[in-house]
Amino acid sequence: MKLYTYFRSSAAYRVRIALNLKGLAYEAVPVHLLRGGGEQRQQPYRDINPAALVPALQVDGVTLTQSLAIIEYLDETHPFMPLLPQDAAGRARVRALALTIAADTHPLTNLRVLQHLTGPMGLSEESKMDWYRHWLRDGLAVLETHLARDGETGRFCHGDTPTLADCCLVPQVFNAQRFAVDLAPYPTIERIHAACAGIPAFQAAHPSAQPDAE
Amino acid sequence: MKLYTYFRSSAAYRVRIALNLKGLAYEAVPVHLLRGGGEQRQQPYRDINPAALVPALQVDGVTLTQSLAIIEYLDETHPFMPLLPQDAAGRARVRALALTIAADTHPLTNLRVLQHLTGPMGLSEESKMDWYRHWLRDGLAVLETHLARDGETGRFCHGDTPTLADCCLVPQVFNAQRFAVDLAPYPTIERIHAACAGIPAFQAAHPSAQPDAE
């Protein structure tokens, strides 16, 4: 199993957590998102993932892209340590929490968007960071509201074992900390993040623990 | 089953297609995204979906949000006319195609982002439309590359029956047509869109066929 990854990529970080939670060994192939204009935009990676985004996972003779699709695949093919609940309503809730980050928050604040704001759009660094923090806070606030009010929230986002939602929450909190976004308004997120941070599978997936960490 | 919807919302349009493909009757509750600063941002809808986005689906005693999570729920609880393939690799491919639109494209170009660009960011209408077309074209180009090269592409995005990916493709093409984005560079998308457009379930989900259409 070969994971194309970048130490600081949120989406790759999600998949690393899932692989580690399931105890699946993989070969990490670093794709440097900044060097030489971004290795993800060039061959050979562009053929592996035409979206020029990490991660991609080569497994069972196929190349998978999109972190959530990859994690669902791993969950279906390796049922040990399930990352989705057994009931349809629970699965819908976990997927919705995951998408609150992976669709409504992270795509607005990832590297290519930030580069587009200061490049073709001609915005200042300050405007770029305003944009970044605006959407990050917006996403965290929605997530906090769900987690704080829903009876299904437990030690983790859904019950007392980690799910796909926690695989998404932790990298998003890492980003918030990296850019000094105050997490005090999101106490449930902070509590769940702390619970995850105590687990070796999450620790081994942290950007600082990756072979390509800088 | 009660669907909170707006006729022109891409995400609501996806769920309408899925409901129609499965032959599920529902009550449409319109949420006007522009009137009075946006009904989605106010009570009572804000309690239904704290993200202040449509759609939300009330079904089986729960409130579901996030279009992809809703469609997966409908597919699990109503297996007739499956919207995901039987094999794990096929499911991963369909989910990745859907996420190329629902995570990498549409969230960058939806109403709240466009309003933020011309509001707090102070950009001109022209800059806003440049932004819109840039990310829309980027997303369509990635989708076209996958669809044109993959052997799994058939009459529809994956084989010869509509899937979750087609539920996402059609509303994105509607947006492109609405804002005069030329579709000639994406012939496979155009071909699949035409195949979908011939199906009554897709026709009945079209924005112009909704009770709240303007």
Length of chain A in residues, anyone? 214
Mean pLDDT, residues B17-37 taken together = 95
- How far are the Cα atoms of A14, A158, A168 from residue A98, in angstroms, in the given order? 10, 11, 6
Nearest CA in chain B to A56: B96
Tell whether A209 is covered by a domain. Answer: no
**Could you give the number of structural domains in chain B?**
2
pLDDT value of residue B88: 98
Distance (Å, whole) CA A179 – CA A129: 9
Q: List residues of chain A with CB under 8 Å from any CB of chain B.
A: 50-51, 53, 60, 62, 64-66, 68-70, 72-73, 76-77, 88-89, 91-93, 95-96, 99-100, 102-104, 107-108, 113, 116, 120-121, 123, 127, 130-131, 134, 142, 145-146
Mean pLDDT, residues A129-155 taken together = 97
Residues B173 and B197 placed together within one structural domain of the fold: yes
> What values do phi and psi take at A194, rounded to 5?
-65, -40
Residues B97 and B197 placed together within one structural domain of the fold: yes
Report the CATH number at residue B17: 3.40.30.10
Phi-psi region of A37 (alpha: psi -120 to 50; beta: other; left: phi over 0): left
Tell me the percentage of chain B whose pLDDT exceeds 70: 100
Angle between helices A67-77 and A88-102 (to 10 degrees): 150
> What tokens appear for B192 in the block?
């699949």
Tell whether A39 is covered by a domain. Answer: yes
C-alpha gyration radius of chain A:
17
Tell whether A213 is covered by a domain. Answer: no
Tell whether B213 is covered by a domain. Answer: no
Distance (Å, whole) CA B56 – CA B5: 7
Residues A99 and A186 placed together within one structural domain of the fold: yes
Mean pLDDT, residues A154-179 taken together = 97
pLDDT value of residue B90: 98
Tell whether B210 is covered by a domain. Answer: no
Residues 6 or more apart whose CB falls under 8 angstroms from that of B125 comprise B118
Mean pLDDT, residues A95-110 taken together = 97
Distance (Å, whole) CA A8 – CA A202: 14
Report the CATH number at residue A136: 1.20.1050.10
Residues A49 and A132 placed together within one structural domain of the fold: no
Distance (Å, whole) CA A164 – CA A180: 25
Last residue of a domain, one of A64, A81, A98: A81
Residues A6 and A108 placed together within one structural domain of the fold: no
Residues B44 and B122 placed together within one structural domain of the fold: no
Of B53, B77, B88, the CB nearest to A73: B88
* pLDDT tens digits for range A127-136: 999 999 999 9
How many CB atoms are closer than 10 A to CB A211?
9
Nearest CA in chain B to A130: B121
Last residue of a domain, one of B42, B57, B81: B81
Residues B77 and B94 placed together within one structural domain of the fold: no
Mean pLDDT, residues A20-26 taken together = 98
Contact B66 A107 (CB under 8 A): no
Q: What is the ipTM of this complex?
A: 0.98
Distance (Å, whole) CA B81 – CA B71: 12
Q: Which of A40, A58, A62, A99 to mutate to test the interface with B (most CBs of B within 10 A)?
A: A99
- How far are the Cα atoms of A28, A174, A185, A206, A211 from residue A203, in angstroms, in the given order? 16, 12, 24, 5, 14
> What values do phi and psi take at A3, rounded to 5?
-105, 115
Residues B94 and B191 placed together within one structural domain of the fold: yes
Tell whether A49 is covered by a domain. Answer: yes
- CA quadruple A24, A27, A33, A39: dihedral sign: negative
Residues 6 or more apart whose CB falls under 8 angstroms from that of A15 comprise A3, A5, A55, A57, A67, A70, A71, A74, A167
* pLDDT tens digits for range B9-24: 999 999 999 999 999 9
Last residue of a domain, one of A30, A57, A81: A81
Residues B13 and B66 placed together within one structural domain of the fold: yes
Distance (Å) from the alpha carbon of B181 to chain A's nearest alpha carbon: 19
Tell whether A111 is covered by a domain. Answer: yes
> What values do phi and psi take at B87, rounded to 5?
-95, 150
**Does the pLDDT at position A96 exceed 90?**
yes
Residues B70 and B103 placed together within one structural domain of the fold: no
Q: How many helices (H) and strands (E) does chain A have?
A: 10, 4
* Residue-range definition of the domain harbouring residue A22: 2-81
Residues A35 and A126 placed together within one structural domain of the fold: no
Average pLDDT taken over every residue of chain A: 97
Residues B43 and B70 placed together within one structural domain of the fold: yes
Mean pLDDT, residues B88-94 taken together = 98
Tell whether A210 is covered by a domain. Answer: no
